[in-house]
Amino acid sequence: MSASSPSALGPVPSLDSLRAPLPAETDVAIVGGGIAGAALAFYLARAGVEVVLVDRGELNREASGTNAGSFHLQLAIHQLSGAGTGADRDRLLADARLSLEAYRLWQELDDELDGDVHLHETGGWMVAETPEQVQVLRDKHELEQLAGIETEVVEGDALRERAPYLSPRVLAATYCPTEGHADPLSVTPLYAVRAAEHGAQLRTHVSVQAIDHHPDQPHRFTVRTDQGDLRARRVVDCAGAWSGEVAAMVGLRLPVRHEGLHVNVTERRPRLLPSMVQHIGRRLTLKQSSQGTFIIGGGWPAPAVPLPQRYPTRWQSAAGNVAVALDVVPALGDARVVRTWSGVIVFTDDMSPVVGESELVPGFFACIASTGFTFSPMFARQLAAQMSAPGEHEPFPERYAVDRAQP
């Protein structure tokens, strides 16, 4: 369930409890055992809401546990539409403010969960290799400043002095002192443990096959699984890359798609990178772990395969990702890659999250974000607050609407 030791997490739910028969009914059924689902289960259960979470595999086995763990505050390449920061100004400014809110939550997580999420605030560089990319850095820097995120654009001799490991190809870089990374193998299991302590029931190896909707009954949904039926007053879609398939079971279309991606890890090397490195125009995230290994990611694709297979790795992506890393940090040239794995990431067509309750199917909720590792805890806490105390909190922005992609 986790790479962390049981003593670090507390009493981990037993295999027997995770594989126990489904209860007959619940208030809230959560579909998906990644960071969004586990966090939502915790916040709802802590508020006294009856919760059952189901996952078709093990907890934290998909996007939440296979990403590189980067903690993003700066506006990044996957948030840009290509139309320029001016065209996307309102959305990008809102996203930057969300990043700051998410950052504040992450700072509190160790205390809130009474455990270690291994958050390392190393600072982060966003690099540019062309004049056009440098202009994007300057434009987004203005938006980040407006949002309250501390960033600065560093060029020339000042950049060489502060980050001598960066290649001469790098013309400029934006620095954010509060970026860093957390451990994707620890956060979701810790949320799950605390959710169980507050009474949430977690079930693994439960595949949801259909969801029947009964709008006139107290339990408006019957979640039909390969392990039996579960009646629920409310259902929350936290299935990430597969959230569109879950929503389709109640007749909804979500504006989501998903891609496989690579992560590469090198052998241990002497300390070189004090800060995370990202690229504004090419797919790259790069960091050096506390063990000395370099973690190289950035969303290089993996080929799609049908379930139950997992996305395979692909040499072209692994090599391409490493090549970008070498272009940016040439000193990695003699570091051997010792491990490569594939994960998956969800994207939304309009680059906005899908969070809240459907108006077309009342009682059906979703909690989905592209930058899910960074944003999911925040969205889960906000959604739990709305679900546990309806009408007492500000609604989510219209651009998050669950129903926005309906024909």
* Residue at 162 is within a domain: yes
Spell out where 183-267 has E strands.
Answer: 201-203, 208-213, 221-225, 228-237, 256-266
Q: How far from each other are the two terminal CA atoms of the chain, in whole angstroms? A: 40
* Residue at 98 is within a domain: no
Residues 142 and 265 placed together within one structural domain of the fold: yes
Q: Residue 99: what pLDDT? A: 84
pTM of the predicted structure, to 2 decimals:
0.90
CATH number at residue 355: 3.50.50.60
Residues 364 and 242 placed together within one structural domain of the fold: yes
Residues 191 and 230 placed together within one structural domain of the fold: yes
* Residue at 84 is within a domain: no
* Residue at 113 is within a domain: no
Sequence-distant contacts of 150-156: CB under 8 A, at least 24 apart: 150/176, 150/177, 150/178, 151/74, 151/175, 151/176
Q: Residue 78: what pLDDT? A: 59
Domain that residue 224 falls in: 8-64+185-255+350-400
How many distinct structural domains can be found in the chain?
2
Boundary of a domain, candidates 345, 363, 379: 345
Residues 227 and 357 placed together within one structural domain of the fold: yes
Q: Residue 79: what pLDDT? A: 64
CATH number at residue 298: 3.30.9.10
Residues 25 and 161 placed together within one structural domain of the fold: no
* Residue at 281 is within a domain: yes
* Residue at 93 is within a domain: no
pLDDT by residue for the chain (407 residues), tens only, comes to: 333 333 344 455 666 789 899 999 999 999 999 999 999 999 999 999 999 999 999 999 888 888 877 777 887 765 664 555 555 778 778 888 888 888 899 999 999 999 999 888 899 999 999 999 999 999 889 888 888 889 999 999 999 999 999 999 999 999 999 888 888 889 999 999 999 999 999 999 999 999 999 999 999 999 999 999 999 999 999 999 999 999 999 999 999 998 888 899 999 999 999 999 999 999 999 999 889 999 999 889 988 887 777 888 999 999 999 999 999 999 999 999 999 998 888 989 888 999 999 999 999 999 999 888 889 999 999 999 999 999 899 899 999 999 999 98
Residues 228 and 207 placed together within one structural domain of the fold: yes
User: What sign has the CA pseudo-torsion 265, 286, 72, 358?
Assistant: negative
The CA distance from 292 to 96, in Å, is 31
Boundary of a domain, candidates 324, 345, 366: 345
Residues 365 and 383 placed together within one structural domain of the fold: yes
* Residue at 23 is within a domain: yes
User: What sign has the CA pseudo-torsion 104, 69, 355, 111?
Assistant: negative
Residues 164 and 275 placed together within one structural domain of the fold: yes
Helices (H), 119-186: 131-147, 156-162
Residues 49 and 31 placed together within one structural domain of the fold: yes
Task: Quote the Cα angle for 55-245-354, to 5°.
Answer: 90
The CA distance from 299 to 260, in Å, is 8
Boundary of a domain, candidates 345, 360, 378: 345
* Residue at 369 is within a domain: yes
Task: Give kind and range of the element (H or E) at residue 45.
Answer: helix 35-46
Residues 274 and 333 placed together within one structural domain of the fold: yes
Residues 153 and 216 placed together within one structural domain of the fold: no
Residues 148 and 191 placed together within one structural domain of the fold: no
The CA distance from 221 to 99, in Å, is 34
Q: Could you give the 3-state DSSP secondary structure of residue 243?
A: helix
Q: Are strands 276-279 and 124-128 parallel, antiparallel or unpaired?
A: parallel
